Amino acid sequence: MSIENLFAQARSAIAAGSREEGRGLLVAILRENPDFAPAWLWMSGVLDEADKRRECLERVLQLDPENAAAKQGLALLDMQEIAETVSPAPPQAKNTASAKRLGEYLVQQHFISQSQLDVALREQEQESRYGRIVPLGDILLRRRWLTAQGLTRALELQKEERAKDGGGPSNRLGEYLIQNHLISPKQLNEVIARQASLKRQGQNFQLGELLVLSGMLSRQQLQRAIDEQKQQFLRHFDQH
């Protein structure tokens, strides 16, 4: 059966509510043709894990850099990540830990003072005793110690720093290249810094493209690395 027919079956199954069947068909398509961008796009819609959905959308943009649906999907994931910081999200332990991390970052970047953070965390703890999970962001906004714009900006900066430290999704390729001794950590950091600088100028470059343009990696090495990452992603479904 052709890829087009399999893809049509996958879309029909998903539209009918059979996500498992549709996902299985999409996996079969991508094993046969890992460069079929529409299958990666639809795969992002049948996965529950945000990081896996993000990875699928990033694959689409590697294959089709101007794909509007993938760009919109990534923007939506970013918005959801921000929303989770200012909306109740059990369990309580996870909420408290993330609040402390965010609070420490806000103090480090001088968005709020340490005393304000201490008061907000105490208030959050008091609310939890009554069974109410109130995000740190809500408390800071309510007390007017932080504006919505300030909170959004802080989250954006925090996300950029995580990416520089290798914690962001855009660095999965970089981590793979380092693990396989294709580039050094220093080279990765240099290219990430250049990528961030170009982005501020309104120029969006994929990490792999910049590595090739910088002469740190050949296009053949980049393609092999991307292909292997795709296969690693698909092997995830062999465990289910």
Q: Are residues 174 and 148 in the same domain?
A: no
pLDDT digits (tens, 9 = 90+) for 5-48: 999 999 999 888 888 899 999 999 998 898 899 999 999 888 87
Q: How far is CA 120 from the centre of its chain?
A: 28
Q: Are residues 156 and 180 in the same domain?
A: no
Amino acid letter for position 177: L
Q: Are residues 74 and 90 in the same domain?
A: no
Answer with the one of 81, 101, 126 that is the final residue of a domain.
81
98-119: average pLDDT: 81
**pLDDT at residue 110 is higher than 70:** yes
Neighbours of 212 (CB within 10 A): 17
pLDDT digits (tens, 9 = 90+) for 38-91: 999 999 888 878 788 888 988 898 888 888 888 878 777 776 665 555 444 444
How far is 9 from 137, CA to CA, in rounded Å? 44
pTM greater than 0.85 (yes/no): no
Domain enclosing residue 193, as ranges:
166-239
Answer with the one of 160, 175, 192 that is the final residue of a domain.
160
117-142: average pLDDT: 81
Q: Are residues 182 and 155 in the same domain?
A: no
Answer with the one of 81, 116, 144 that is the final residue of a domain.
81
What confidence score (pLDDT) does residue 71 get? 82
- The structure tokens listed for 236 are 């995830």
Regarding predicted confidence, which is higher, 197 or 240? 197
Q: Are residues 147 and 183 in the same domain?
A: no
Q: Are residues 10 and 76 in the same domain?
A: yes
Q: Are residues 91 and 143 in the same domain?
A: yes
State the CATH number of the domain containing residue 54.
1.25.40.10
What confidence score (pLDDT) does residue 164 get? 52
Q: Which band of pLDDT confidence, cut at 50, 70 and 90, is reported for residue 94?
A: very low
Q: Are residues 155 and 189 in the same domain?
A: no
Q: Are residues 57 and 125 in the same domain?
A: no
Question: Phi/psi of residue 35, each to 5°?
Answer: -100, 15
101-121: average pLDDT: 86
CA angle (224 as vertex; 178, 21 as ends), nearest 5: 105
Q: Are residues 120 and 190 in the same domain?
A: no
3-state helix/strand/coil string of 134-178: CCHHHHHHHCCCCCHHHHHHHHHHHHHHHHHCCCCHHHHHHHHHH
How far is 133 from 102, CA to CA, in rounded Å? 16
**pLDDT at residue 95 is higher than 60:** no
Q: Are residues 50 and 31 in the same domain?
A: yes
Count how many domains the chain has: 3
Q: Are residues 149 and 186 in the same domain?
A: no
